[in-house]
Amino acid sequence: MIKIEIVNSTKADESFLNVRLAKGKSSDAFVENTGYVPEAGGYLVFVDSTDARCFQKAGRTVGSLGIKKVRVTVDTSDGLNLDAIRAAQFVIGMYSEGLERSGMSVAFDLNDAILDSVRRDVEFITLGRIFANSSNNQYHTTDLVKTLFKELNSAFERFGGSGTMSFELYKKGDSLFDLNCRGLQTVGKSSVHEPCLAVIDYVGPGASEDRVDIALVGKGIAFDTGGYDLKGSKFMETMRTDKSGLVYCAAATALAATMGTSKHIRCYMPCAENMVSGNAMVPGDIITYPNNVTVEIGNTDAEGRLILADALLLACQKKPSFLLDAATLTGAAKIAVGRDMCAVLCRENRIDEQLQQAFDYTGEEYWMLPMREYHKRYITARRADICNTSHGDGAPGSSTAAAFLSFFVNPEQKWTHIDLSNAYQSDSSPYLAPGSTGNTIYALAHWIVGSQY
């Protein structure tokens, strides 16, 4: 159970420190642009209302002070207001790794209905952050997806979710896995922990079981050594978080279900470990996928797209109204946009308007990167249709990765790819503590609920 307590201000006793949020700036006695100053009973934290995440920034300011019990008040006289989104942002910003165990408490002057929605949103986003950052020896492939679903489903039931949410697990010996999951079989054979494909299927009240409205696909590399193209220790130490796409898509699905979407949502979770062994894939190996696309392994550290291909092909079979995948796929995305936003790519080179609205509403940030037909020239192969890594001068890594995935998505399928450059940060930012961020869970959940697909 996550020990994050969110209560009405009337229930906050003298052990809660007062934090007042207001516009303005510190007096001349302080260094220019000081974010907070002490005042009677606590702190005054300055917010810039032009920043969509100013309340999250305030929460991070409070969390960085080592405070874990606060009563938050807002100076409404200068136009600030507190709602469910901003309250959740504050808690998300205040949270840091370990507080879910030791406990943190936040009190707001909000009614019970709003506080319930804040508790719900924070619960699912925090679960996403915890699982994405979990160590490899805590959860391996099948344990990861089963335990993750158990915790998400428990929260779904606890917060009164309606509709039906089910879970299926496919692995070696299941015909669906054996016939369709060529990428998972190739990547996962290097580990003693078997690869698998898990599916969360949510059918909202009144939704058709036969028609899938939205399909999500999340990359789940439980740990990534890089394989025989071995990562250096500096780049390997955080590879427990290479499962963030899987975790965040699952959390967004469960949160949307709990929020009350009436859609039919399917979340595909391909999961494997990329290890070094006598049985591992090596450069030059060739995979033939069920759609007859052949792939030459140019780099064993470009394994995520190999398992995404399996799930994308399966998702397309259901002909969803919209298909979206999310993955910690390329270092190039982090170089291009940093760790404060994700990269979005799609064939139209224009973000879906309803997805953009969800990002804007939750205050999460994204940036469009190009996806062009001519990017495919960077992934040509001499011995197969395509290569799993790019080559040539100036090859744009994020765009060529999306070009690779496009071979496994029907041309007529509405599809968006998210490169999760902001899934994890090793250092604190103005908005979040170090560690897994949970970024995109909030936006994707609101998109699922509010879109017309």
Q: Do the domain assignments include residue 336?
A: yes
The answer to whether 405 touches 417, Cβ cutoff 8 Å, is yes
Is 123 domain-assigned?
no
d(Cα 59, Cα 88) in Å, to the nearest integer? 10
pLDDT at 1: 59
pLDDT of residue 344: 98
The domain boundary residue, chosen from 110, 145, 163: 110
**Cα pseudo-dihedral 352, 358, 360, 365, rounded to 10:** -80
The string of pLDDT tens digits covering residues 134-164 is 999 999 999 999 999 999 999 999 999 999 9
Helix boundaries (H) for 225-363: 233-236, 244-259, 304-317, 331-337, 353-362
For 236, residues 6+ apart whose C-beta sits below 8 A from its C-beta are 224, 225, 226
Residue 319 belongs to a domain with what CATH number?
A: 3.40.630.10
Catalytic positions are 231, 305
What residue numbers bound the domain in which 9 lies? 4-110
- Name the token pair of 300: 């064993």
- Identify the pLDDT of residue 33: 76
Given the DSSP bridges, would you call strands 69-74 and 104-108 parallel, antiparallel or unpaired? parallel
pLDDT tens digit sequence for 70-119 = 999 998 887 889 999 999 999 999 999 888 788 999 999 999 999 999 99
The parts of the chain modelled with pLDDT lower than 70 are: 1
Any domain includes 8? yes
- Domain membership of residue 169 (yes or no) is yes
Q: How many CB atoms lie within 10 A of CB 312?
A: 28
Tell me the CATH number at 92: 3.40.220
21 and 164 share a domain? no
Residue-level pLDDT at 438: 98
Backbone torsions φ then ψ of 119, nearest 5 degrees? -60, -45
- At 212-264, the pLDDT tens digits run 999 999 999 999 999 999 999 888 999 999 999 999 999 999 999 999 999 99
Question: Quick one: pLDDT at residue 292?
Answer: 98
Local structure of residue 230 (DSSP, 8 states): P
Q: How far is the C-alpha of 315 from the C-alpha of 409, rounded, in Å?
A: 9
SS3 assignment for 129-197 = HHHHCCCCCCCCHHHHHHHHHHHHHHHHHHCCCCCEEEEEEECCCCHHHHHHCHHHHHHHCCCCCCCEE
Q: What is the pLDDT of residue 25?
A: 81
pLDDT for the residue numbered 196: 98
